[in-house]
Amino acid sequence: MKKMKLVMVGNGMAGVRTLEELLKLAPDLYDITVFGAEPYPNYNRIMLSPVLAGEQGIQDIILNDIDWYKQNNITLHLNKKIVRIARKNKVVVAEDGTEAKYDRLLLATGSSSFILPVPGKELAGVVGYRDIQDTNAMIAAAEKYKHAVVIGGGLLGLEAANGLALRGMDVTVVHLMSWLMERQLDDNSAQMLQSALQAKGLKFLLEQQTQELIGDGHGRVKSIRFKDGSEIPADLVVMAVGIRPNVALAEEAGIYCNRGIVVSDTMQTYDPSIYAVGECVSHRGTAYGLVAPLFDMAKVCANHLARMGIAYYQGSVTSTKLKVTGVDLFSAGNFTGGNETNQIVMHDVTGGKYKKLVLNNNTLVGAVMYGDTKDSSWYFQMIRDGKNVAEIRDQLIFGQSHLGNAGSQGQNLAATMTNAMEVCGCNGVCKGTIVKAIKEKGLFTLEDVRKHTKASASCGSCTGLVEQILASTVGGAYAPQATTVKPLCDCTSHSHEEVRKAIREEKLISIPQTMTFLNWNTTNGCAKCRPALNYYLLCAWPHEAKDDPQSRFINERANANIQKDGTFSVVPRMYGGITTPQQLRRIADVAEKYNVPTVKVTGGQRIDLLGVKKADLPKIWADLDMPSGYAYAKALRTVKTCVGSEWCRFGVQDSTQMGIDIERAFDHMWMPHKFKVAVSGCPRNCAESGIKDVGIIGVESGWEIYVAGNGGIKTVVAQFLVKVKTRDEVMEYTGAFAQLYREEAHYLDRTVHYVERVGLDHVKKHVVENAANRKALYARLLDALQGATNPWSKENINAREFESLTI
């Protein structure tokens, strides 16, 4: 079949990102031709400020070099501006007469600096600030001249002013409004910003309107005069008062434009063969000038060009971070407030810190921060997710507590870290490595940074730090994805929720069936999605879906825990931590017989045999004659207990028996992640119930149940769920909570992450307040566990898994 022709006009970040997304989805669908008016391949426009400031060269900011176009068989025309679209014949025509036919046309013409219509605007030395050419002109001027004036005290203007000052110019910023960056900042934070920039040597003229630019008689600008008659010298004038979408080409072709090329939620213009993305479009009345929304648009547009037709763009919440070294500033969403909103403000004048949060009812809708932006990603994520913050409102302003996060030396302020300091303790990645990768490889997302540097890719405790580094390096281009729409993995565009919904509602019972139904873009998934799908299927259809061992991580396939040298560890069940002399003797005999190098008592009160050869596992299990302790699985691990009322002089409840009962009842329970329980017989809490997924504490009059604690990477104290009287109630509430978590959590979320996402109120509503729902949850769990058997027993062992072949 002959390929369709896709022509792209404009060779900037939004357009090329669209092509990249398209090539991922449908590499062979189109013959692609690209026309760029500039002489450069796609470069990272947001890094122009570091280039101007002398921190980077132009070659450092190229995102796709000429070879990339070649490798992807893209015909590239540089230096060729398209001047006409003949829609009838579906042809575009360039300035030099080059023509190209299209079946689909993608307009990514970007935007230009708005040049004030004042006398003298055409003089030499008057530039906008939009591309490499402007930047080069400014660098050249800085070498020859002294006085620079930047008109416009917005993001771009301030970055330009900072760069020119660093190049030795005497810079004055002229701004029409009464405070800087009025679209991103309130007056308080703008005042703090202005003082900081003044300390760096910049001058400011606020509430000044430009009257005219005066020439030196040789065609170059010499000074600038204002409406009030005053005048200051200017050898270079940078217009940074705003951008205008480049719509002339589209308008001339009769495509509907209204302050931008008007597109639908599928990024389609009024001509169905023509799509548009980036700064040239107007979507639901908004034209975006930041990079982050462009990437969202690119994804959607590529999805439709690839004929998948399921994605749609609903607009973006944007955030701003000024890329001026030494100034920490962040704003996002609606920060000016209004009648519907109220504010939480913290202002430390001497400390140079300011924080304002804007809430609508109990949803965070905007934030401005100056001086301390370490929690910016956390707030921004909540704004994007529209999360209800009622439960944490009283602590919201103090930020996300990083206390107790292990692995990053207690660091939580990326800006104060030197390049040599370690960010990710798991993978040994320091700050300099991350910054270098972001700049050189052109990374924009947390996922990109993880892939390239491994930072925060293991335990994730330094994710906040990495996000901060990313945000301050790429500025407004960084936007965390709303968690609700995050795809499960690269194999699909569906979120965890969408996948689970389809499995439930369509009664999908196998992985291939699910992948086909949901249009997976790989034939058999990857190591991320297959284990998740296998769990989701087993959770939704416990007796219909067939377990797929090849989609399980090795630990759950071998029913033992793989160690760094490829040997395994074996932990037999000892219900409630109770054992017998006979069991201990058998364990000792096994350890001797199979030369087990290490025997250790675990944190969960069990005995661990470490360093076992894979081939010995089935023999050891048979000799032990004890059930699997599931120490390797995403399942109920151990129920830790204290001695309790049977022996302890303080004990008020029989915690040991309760632990045994729970471990027996919920044995063999597959879960999104490991699940730990503890039962203490009195409030002295010797079983450490406060840091377990479910922690139960006996009191004189019954049992208190706590949930979603965590003793791992992030130490989080479990939250009180309910107090009950009887053993049966403990079983029912614990089981119902476990089932709710099983049914709603994303695969690999611990209960702490799950409850943080849905809120404790949601859990209480389903498990505590609604008795019928609680009983139904508990019944579903008991049904799922029906017929489950010990994976170590002979009939469950697949010999092939453990025997090796020889030649």
Partner 1 sequence: MNTWHEVTTLEEIPPLGARVVTTKQGDIALFRTAEDEVFALLDRCPHKGGHLSQGIVFGKKVTCPLHSWNICLDDGNAVAPDVGCTRSYPVKVENNVVYLSLA
Task: Give residues in contact with partner 1 (CB under 8 A).
Answer: 451-452, 458, 522-527, 530-531, 549-554, 558, 562, 564, 566, 800, 804-807
CB of 23 to partner 1, least distance (A): 15
Q: Which is nearer to partner 1, 541 or 553 (CB)?
A: 553
Q: Which is nearer to partner 1, 453 or 689 (CB)?
A: 453
Tokens found for residue 575 = 């219900």
Kindly report the CA angle at 250 between 247 and 253, in degrees rounded to 5? Answer: 145
Spatial contact of 559 and 632, defined as CB atoms under 8 Å apart? yes
Q: Which is nearer to partner 1, 58 or 562 (CB)?
A: 562
Q: Are strands 694-699 and 91-94 parallel, antiparallel or unpaired?
A: unpaired
Residue 308: helix, strand or coil by DSSP?
coil
Please tell me the distance from the alpha carbon of residue 520 to that of residue 195, in angstroms, as a whole number.
Answer: 53
Please tell me the distance from the alpha carbon of residue 63 to that of residue 43, in angstroms, as a whole number.
Answer: 5
Residue 248: helix, strand or coil by DSSP?
helix
Q: Which is nearer to partner 1, 420 or 799 (CB)?
A: 799
Beta bridge partners of 359: 342, 364
Q: Which is nearer to partner 1, 418 or 550 (CB)?
A: 550
> What are the start-end ranges of the E strands in 642-693?
675-680
CB of 491 to partner 1, least distance (A): 9
Q: Give me the half-sphere count of Cα atoms (radius 13 Å) on the Cβ side of residue 41.
A: 17
Long-range CB pairs of 442-447 (<8 Å, 24+ gap) are 442/44, 442/61, 442/63, 443/470, 443/474, 444/291, 444/292, 444/295, 444/470, 444/474, 444/477, 444/478, 445/470, 445/478, 445/481, 446/470, 446/480
DSSP string, 437-475: HHHHHT--SHHHHHHHH-TTSSS-TTHHHHHHHHHHHHG
Q: Which is nearer to partner 1, 527 or 772 (CB)?
A: 527
CB of 513 to partner 1, least distance (A): 14
Q: Which is nearer to partner 1, 729 or 801 (CB)?
A: 801
Residue 747 DSSP class: T
User: Residues near 272 by Cβ (< 8 Å), separated by ≥ 6?
Assistant: none
The dihedral built from the CA positions of residue 749, 753, 759 and 764, taken in this order, carries a sign that is positive
CB of 409 to partner 1, least distance (A): 22
Spatial contact of 600 and 610, defined as CB atoms under 8 Å apart? yes
CB of 614 to partner 1, least distance (A): 8
Q: Which is nearer to partner 1, 45 or 530 (CB)?
A: 530
Spatial contact of 766 and 740, defined as CB atoms under 8 Å apart? yes
Q: Which is nearer to partner 1, 33 or 567 (CB)?
A: 567
**Among residues 650, 652, 662, which one has the least CA distance to residue 578?**
662
**Among residues 500, 501, 556, which one has the least CA distance to residue 527?**
556
Phi, psi dihedral angles at 292 (to 5 degrees): -55, -45
Q: Which is nearer to partner 1, 420 or 527 (CB)?
A: 527
CB of 76 to partner 1, least distance (A): 23
A 10 A CB-CB count for 595 gives 10
Q: Which is nearer to partner 1, 344 or 554 (CB)?
A: 554
Tokens found for residue 493 = 């565009």
Q: Which is nearer to partner 1, 1 or 807 (CB)?
A: 807
Q: Which is nearer to partner 1, 519 or 522 (CB)?
A: 522
Spatial contact of 163 and 202, defined as CB atoms under 8 Å apart? no
Spatial contact of 573 and 554, defined as CB atoms under 8 Å apart? no
Please tell me the distance from the alpha carbon of residue 497 to that of residue 505, in angstroms, as a whole number.
Answer: 12
CB of 550 to partner 1, least distance (A): 4
702: burial class by Cβ within 10 Å (0-12, 13-18, 19+)? middle
Spatial contact of 720 and 704, defined as CB atoms under 8 Å apart? yes
Spatial contact of 174 and 150, defined as CB atoms under 8 Å apart? yes
Q: Which is nearer to partner 1, 350 or 806 (CB)?
A: 806
Residue 32: helix, strand or coil by DSSP?
strand
The H or E element that residue 294 is part of is helix 291-305
Q: Which is nearer to partner 1, 287 or 620 (CB)?
A: 620
CB of 626 to partner 1, least distance (A): 24
CB of 26 to partner 1, least distance (A): 17
Please tell me the distance from the alpha carbon of residue 133 to that of residue 45, in angstroms, as a whole number.
Answer: 12
A 10 A CB-CB count for 649 gives 7
DSSP string, 158-206: HHHHHHHHHTT-EEEEEESSSSTTTTT--HHHHHHHHHHHHHTT-EEEE
Spatial contact of 396 and 389, defined as CB atoms under 8 Å apart? yes
* 151-174 as b/e: b if 16+ CB within 10 A: bbbbbbbbbbbbbbbbbebbbbbb
CB of 633 to partner 1, least distance (A): 14
Q: Which is nearer to partner 1, 349 or 805 (CB)?
A: 805
CB of 555 to partner 1, least distance (A): 8
Q: Which is nearer to partner 1, 515 or 662 (CB)?
A: 515
Residue 380: helix, strand or coil by DSSP?
helix
CB of 452 to partner 1, least distance (A): 5
User: Crossing angle, helix 446-453 and helix 463-474, to 10 degrees?
Assistant: 110
Q: Which is nearer to partner 1, 88 or 800 (CB)?
A: 800
CB of 538 to partner 1, least distance (A): 17
